[in-house]
Amino acid sequence: MSISHDSRYAYAVGRIRVLETRLLDMSKLGRMVEAKSADEALRILGETEYADLVSRAAGPQDYAAVTAGEITRVYSLMKKLLPDEALVDLFLIKYDIHNMKVALKAQFQGQNFEHLFIDAGLVPAKLMPYVCQQEKLQGVPPEYYAFASAAALAYEESKDPKVIDLVLDRMQYSHTAAMAEKHGYAFLARFLASQADLANIRSLVRTKRLGRGRDYLAGNLLPGGTVPQAVLLEALTEEWTAIIARFSSSPYQAVVEQGINALLESRGLTMLEKLSDGFLAELSRSVRFQAFGPEPVLNYILAKENEVRNIRIVMLGKLNGVPNEEIRERLREGYA
Amino acid sequence: MEWLGINAGLGLAILGAALAVFLGGTGSSIGVGIAGQTSAGIMSEDPEKFGKLLLLQALPGTQGVYGLLIGFWILIRLTGVEVVTVDQGWQLLFACLPAAINGLMSGIWQGKVSAAAMNIIVKHPDASGKALILPAMVETYAIFGLLASLLLTNRVVF
């Protein structure tokens, strides 16, 4: 007779349902793609939820500020809506890790990369250099200090700044997955596992294409996926057809098969990337109709992140005069 | 039942009436509460939906009314009765249980279905009639509980 604690999300889900109707659909994005100029594309964006931010933008070249403003607005709105802020915090870890990469590289290369900070994380971006120098600050998750020192250590050994990215990417995945597990967000944990799997599959394909060895792939693999790392490493020495066969009974069958076929037809890795994003969108869409629980909220945040990504693709394409067809091909399908 | 005092029968009958009011009301307040949170969420973004949401939110409130009805009905039946025997007291207590327990459970579940149905209205405002049918189905069982309690209490002879 217990009242499921999921009804705690009843208010948030109601509000999300309305917000979902305001997401940019493909027809709106299509209009932006068809726009004659970047100015016009921005004007079309101004007819949507983005009106306020667009009116404050100086021009189309300011699109990054518009999208950054929107995503910060969404995160802070979600924090207000949800009974537990921890859910939103999980989405903010990636910004902290990004800022940590920037801060560490700046520290080691003695340059100022402050303009690369994205101030959307849990820790204010300007504090990140202090975290990297192991200065104990209030409100900084204790794990971050361990991440920073592990990345610094790896850099000291190899003197290759790319190692910082690899080490921190791995930490980000395992930390986010551990937090999702700890707070009992079963769906998010599943989503993250699929995300890791797909990233690993992409690494496998890229490594094989570049003709690099096991060690290179092993350095790029992310933890937390359902496909064992040994399987991925073994697949590296196989033919493309054998790799496709290997995944034939996994949920990633279509992604792997179509992605590799596109690659073999010399259409590059874009298709594989698009397919894996599509897989994640589909996974997220599958739970959006639940009336209770955090899933619809998760789907909305993911949908918003995807929308912002699409807007960036369109605006960047428009500003650089990329043909409409090419922009369209790069767009990711929506979550709503 | 000497230890319960001479009026134990009356006490049992009142316990029955109180349970019907209390459990029915609890079910309704939880149900209306869940549906209310969802409609508050929707209305904070789209206040125009108030009219369509109101009925869906009110629907889980009926269980409390049914419970109250049974409570009053017991009081009416007891008016003018000089002595309620322990037997009659037990009978009335048990007769109240269908409305009480059905009210508790169906109220909670109806609230959940109402909240879910509100999500339909946001996506498809024209389908509000259809959306109303879904929680109305749950109502059936609250009505069965009310009916059973009414018939049962009427069978108790003084």
Residue B43: the pLDDT is 94
Q: Which residues contact B83 (CB under 8 A, 6 or more apart)?
A: B9
How many folded domains does chain A comprise?
3
Residue range of the domain that includes A75? 1-84+294-336
Q: What is the mean pLDDT of the segment spanning A141-150?
A: 92
Residue A2: the pLDDT is 37
Residue B55: the pLDDT is 93
Q: What is the mean pLDDT of the segment spanning A133-142?
A: 88
Same domain, A314 and A260: no
Per-residue pLDDT at A5 exceeds 60: no
What are the boundaries of each domain within chain B? 2-155
Q: Which of the listed residues A153, A182, A211 is the one where a domain comes to its end? A: A182
Please indicate whether, in this complex, the C-beta atoms of A11 and B116 are within 8 angstroms of each other: no
A51 CA: distance to closest CA in chain B (Å)? 16
The pTM of the full predicted model, rounded to 2 decimals, is 0.85
Residues 13-52 of B with CB under 8 A from A: 30, 34-35, 37-42, 44-46
Q: Which of the listed residues A167, A182, A197 is the one where a domain comes to its end? A: A182
- Please state, as a whole number, how many other Cβ atoms lie within 10 Å of the Cβ of residue A167: 21
Please determine, looking at this structure, whether the domain spanning B2-155 carries the CATH number 1.20.120.610.
Answer: yes
Q: Which of the listed residues A166, A182, A198 is the one where a domain comes to its end? A: A182
More confident site: B7 or A319:
A319
Q: What is the pLDDT of residues A39-98, one digit of tens each?
A: 999 999 999 999 999 999 888 888 888 998 999 999 999 998 888 888 899 999 999 999
Distance CA A131, CA A122 (A): 12
State which residues of chain B have pLDDT below 70.
1-6
Please indicate whether, in this complex, the C-beta atoms of B119 and A7 are within 8 angstroms of each other: no
A7 CA: distance to closest CA in chain B (Å)? 7
DSSP-H helix ranges across chain A: 10-21, 26-34, 38-45, 51-56, 63-81, 86-109, 128-132, 143-158, 161-182, 186-210, 214-220, 229-235, 240-246, 253-264, 270-285, 295-319, 324-330
- Cross-chain CB nearest to A19 (options B37, B45, B119): B45
Best residue of B120, B122, B124, B134 to probe chain A, by most A CBs closer than 10 Å: B122
DSSP string, A307-330: HHHHHHHHHHHHHTT--HHHHHHH
A63 CA: distance to closest CA in chain B (Å)? 26
Residue B2: the pLDDT is 52
Please indicate whether, in this complex, the C-beta atoms of A292 and B118 are within 8 angstroms of each other: no
Contacts of A1 in chain B (CB under 8 A): 104-105
Per-residue pLDDT at A317 exceeds 80: yes
Distance CA A138, CA A120 (A): 18
**Residue A196 belongs to domain with CATH number:** 1.20.1690
Residue A185: the pLDDT is 87
Residue B19: the pLDDT is 97
End-to-end, the C-alpha distance of chain B in Å comes to 19
Per-residue pLDDT at A3 exceeds 60: no
Same domain, A263 and A281: yes
**Residue A102 belongs to domain with CATH number:** 1.20.1690.10
Q: How many beta-carbon pairs below 8 A join chains A and B?
A: 64
A118 CA: distance to closest CA in chain B (Å)? 29
Stretch (H or E) spanning B67: helix B62-78
Give the tokens for residue A263: 């690659």
Per-residue pLDDT at A4 exceeds 60: no
Per-residue pLDDT at A271 exceeds 90: no
Same domain, A25 and A113: no
Same domain, A280 and A304: no
Please indicate whether, in this complex, the C-beta atoms of B34 and A7 are within 8 angstroms of each other: yes
Please answer whether residues B63 and B31 qualify as being in contact, where contact means their C-beta atoms are separated by less than 8 angstroms. yes
A15 CA: distance to closest CA in chain B (Å)? 4
Please indicate whether, in this complex, the C-beta atoms of A10 and B38 are within 8 angstroms of each other: yes
Please indicate whether, in this complex, the C-beta atoms of B40 and A11 are within 8 angstroms of each other: yes
Same domain, A303 and A326: yes
Q: What is the pLDDT of residues B17-59, one digit of tens each?
A: 999 999 999 999 999 999 999 999 999 999 999 999 999 999 9
Distance CA B158, CA B154 (A): 10
B123 exposed, middle or buried (CB, 10 Å; 0-12, 13-18, 19+)?
Answer: middle
